[in-house]
């Protein structure tokens, strides 16, 4: 064997040994992690408004990764935000990104900045008693209802008066400085709003569309038998009244639309990262689409349909 051949052989052996040792050390390092995208248990907090869709996302992820467990606590949005400072909570799912000051405060608390992404968009739907005649409303009408100035005495009902994402959206994006009527009422959950509206004619409920927007979900079909969904004047076609349907949310026609955002506290490739990538990836975005929310990370194809009698 020539000297040059010996050097080549030695070089190949050294490269092979380096690659082998690197792979071994990477696997050893992964085994030392408390969790990975394919194994382990984490706790997350999610806005109660999105329970139906988050339940479905977790169900599919765990079925595809049998050695994982994602334990979800459903809470008002403000409580989820407080959980960002809770060491045991890895991720929160809410309706807004955190501010620069909030991000810095979390960085100071845990030593690194959290990651976030908008994964879908949701609409706030309004529901009324089946006998109600108030099923076509402008946003001016909605504001009058919220401030107690509407011609009919319709009392707004929310999933909690304080700390919920629905109430925050109404205050920030609809009232814009005006005061919510003191007659406004609160149910403990979104389902509670539906049940209360179904029994009272003088109220109007505000809930996330993920509770009543899926015509293929048996529970949501049962909800729609108890209440009516209000049509709101379109943002781009005055005089045209629409519901908080997926296409209207996606195209920006429905006036009360909000983001669905994950905020992740994880500085390694763990189960939180795996679940975050799943929500923003192909399967997660399809789940949002099938739940009749508007996916934010994948294009939603909307085709016009012509009905022929």
List the domains of the chain with CATH numbers: 39-121+258-295 (3.40.190.10), 123-257 (3.40.190.10)
Dist CA 223 CA 215 (whole Å): 10
pLDDT at position 260 is 96
Note the pTM of the prediction, 2 decimals.
0.82
Residue 263 backbone zone (phi > 0: left; psi -120 to 50: alpha; other: beta): beta
pLDDT at position 156 is 96
pLDDT at position 211 is 85
pLDDT at position 261 is 97
Q: Are 167 and 124 in contact (CB under 8 A)?
A: no
The per-residue pLDDT string of the chain (309 residues; one tens digit each, 9 = 90 and over) reads 555 555 555 555 555 555 555 554 445 556 678 899 999 999 999 999 899 899 999 999 999 999 999 999 999 999 999 999 999 999 999 999 999 999 999 999 889 999 999 999 999 999 999 999 889 999 999 999 999 999 888 999 998 766 789 999 999 999 999 999 999 999 988 899 999 999 999 999 999 888 887 777 788 888 888 999 999 999 988 999 999 888 899 888 999 999 999 999 999 999 999 999 999 999 999 999 988 899 999 875 555 544 444
pLDDT at position 306 is 47
Q: Are 147 and 175 in contact (CB under 8 A)?
A: yes
Picking from 189, 182, 216, 225, the residue whose alpha carbon sits closest to that of residue 205 is 189
pLDDT at position 309 is 44
Q: Are 296 and 213 in contact (CB under 8 A)?
A: no
> Token pair of 302, please?
């909307």
In sequence order, the β-bridge partners of residue 89 are 43
């Amino acid at each position: 064997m020539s000297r040059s051949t010996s050097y080549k052989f030695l070089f190949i052996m050294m490269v092979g040994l380096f690659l082998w040792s690197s792979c071994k050390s990477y696997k050893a390092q992964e085994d030392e992690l408390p969790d990975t995208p394919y194994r382990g248990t984490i706790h997350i907090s999610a806005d109660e408004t999105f329970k139906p869709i988050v339940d479905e996302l977790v169900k599919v992820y765990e079925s595809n990764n049998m050695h994982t467990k994602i334990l979800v606590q459903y809470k008002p949005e403000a409580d989820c935000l407080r959980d960002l400072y809770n060491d045991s909570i890895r991720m929160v799912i809410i309706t807004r990104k955190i501010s620069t000051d909030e991000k810095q405060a979390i960085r100071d608390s845990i030593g690194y900045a959290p990651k976030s992404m908008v994964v879908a968009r949701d609409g706030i739907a309004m529901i009324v008693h089946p006998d109600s005649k108030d099923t076509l409303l402008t946003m001016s009408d909605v504001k009058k209802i919220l401030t107690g100035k509407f011609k009919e005495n319709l009392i707004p009902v929310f999933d909690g008066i304080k700390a919920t994402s629905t109430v925050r959206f109404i205050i920030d994006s609809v009232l814009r400085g005006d005061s919510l009527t003191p007659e406004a009422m609160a149910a403990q959950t979104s389902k509670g709003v539906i049940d209360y509206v179904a029994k009272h004619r003088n109220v109007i409920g505000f809930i996330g569309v993920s509770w009543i927007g899926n015509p293929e979900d048996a529970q949501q079909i049962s909800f729609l038998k108890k209440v009516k969904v209000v049509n709101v004047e379109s943002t781009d076609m005055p005089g045209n009244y629409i519901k908080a349907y997926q296409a209207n949310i996606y195209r920006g026609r429905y006036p009360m639309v909000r983001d669905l955002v994950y905020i992740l506290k994880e500085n390694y490739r763990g189960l939180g990262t795996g679940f975050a990538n799943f929500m923003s990836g192909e399967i997660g975005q399809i789940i949002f689409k099938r739940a009749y929310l508007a996916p934010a990370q994948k294009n939603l194809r909307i085709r016009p349909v012509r009905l022929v009698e």
